[in-house]
Structure 1
């Protein structure tokens, strides 16, 4: 069995976990989807092999919640498709562990947590949107919520007149984006955000990531939307 593992020190790696599918295998708990574990890896002939593993947190509860499972699957695919092999990103590693923990909880807004993750993910990957000033001229005094994806952030009134494709947001959404980017996701998760703002932020981030991430896979979210409509 070949596992795709996102590690703190090595980044994304592929590793052979021999016999991990067997019911009595010591590697089975760590080989499950979303599992957070300590792995002992040995490199042989250019390929990593899992020689030992110890599970830290299984996040097994996510499997019992269709919303949590869909959002967690989407986040996992987003990270997997965005990273190259052996590309270390400790900031993103810490973010995804904390986000999986939050998604496993019952008393959090999972759609908001996912939207917040997307925004912080863009920061971790180096294409953080500019939300505290005009992304073109740098003006901080104009606090209009006019967002332009191609320009990578907010625009002041004067600059907005020179670009098409502008997206007008609620002024509170701009403040929310600043808040998310300035705080840890555990702190962000405690904010009480109404559904209208959550939907607006979620829609914006899907549009933003579509422009900046190749092979964006939203299949699990589309299935979730269909289930909610049904």
Structure 2
């Protein structure tokens, strides 16, 4: 039997039989895989901590047929605090579902793995705008899976002389004033939003988290990315975000979701 050590993050944990758990892991060495954590639901199981949602661990996996079995799991970071914060939990659920639904089994993507780990870490911090961080994640996610929007030149003619421009989701990015009449469904976009998108694409998310961004720019970024994701990514699951918005609406909070 093949034995492998790799870092991994729990994207999903589903109870199987009485005490077992089937994990969907996003790993450094294998990409997305399914792994059985035998007896992980028992209170004294050594696999219990490494079988929790969002856990970031060193795993020892044994290949068994089409699946893996978790032989050992050593916590690097549990991210357990996320479960105590409704906003953080909703956003974390959303991005892990995005990764799960948009990646192929056994296909590695180390840049995306690091991005996911860093973003989950940021969700545990009190001084971070989690809404903005989620949209920064979405933009970098699109880049890392091959759907990066063009924001530094016209997506049609490649001109960098952008005095006036719009954003066109179906054309994949910024469209200059000369080309804009050729396309329908153009969206107005603020210069600051364009510059922010360039900044996010050029820097790691930890550095991006330190930027102070106005609610208006975050809202505009959200509208563009939500439309972009729904066009280019299949099975975008917004349920956790819709649930969060309904809770915020009940409390009279307007966060622009």
Give the TM-score taking structure 2 as reference length. Answer: 0.88
TM-superposed CA distance for 1:84, in Å, is 1.1
Who is 1:136 aligned against? 156
C-alpha separation in 1, matches of 2:223 and 2:43: 41
Unaligned runs of 5+ in 2: 1-20, 251-257
TM-superposed CA distance for 1:8, in Å, is 0.6
C-alpha separation in 2, matches of 1:197 and 1:21: 44
- For the aligned residue pairs, the C-alpha RMSD in angstroms reads 0.8
Greater fraction of residues in helix: 1
C-alpha separation in 2, matches of 1:45 and 1:188: 42
TM-superposed CA distance for 1:145, in Å, is 4.2
1:89 pairs with one of 104, 109, 120: 109
Bigger relative contact order, structure 1 or 2 (CA pairs below 8 A, ≥6 apart):
1
TM-superposed CA distance for 1:87, in Å, is 1.2
Greater fraction of residues in strand: 2
Who is 1:100 aligned against? 120
Unaligned runs of 5+ in 1: none
52-61 vs 138-147, which moves further:
138-147
C-alpha separation in 2, matches of 1:197 and 1:10: 37
C-alpha separation in 1, matches of 2:59 and 2:40: 13
1:42 pairs with one of 58, 62, 66: 62
Who is 2:238 aligned against? 218
Residue 200 (structure 2) pairs with residue 180 (structure 1): yes
Give the TM-score taking structure 1 as reference length. Answer: 0.98
Q: Is the 8 A contact 2:37 2:47 kept in 1?
A: yes
C-alpha separation in 1, matches of 2:66 and 2:196: 45
C-alpha separation in 1, matches of 2:231 and 2:126: 32
Who is 2:169 aligned against? 149
Number of matched residues? 230
C-alpha separation in 2, matches of 1:144 and 1:29: 53
C-alpha separation in 2, matches of 1:78 and 1:194: 25
Who is 1:197 aligned against? 217
Who is 1:115 aligned against? 135
Give 1:50-89 correspondences, 5 Å limit. 50-89=70-109
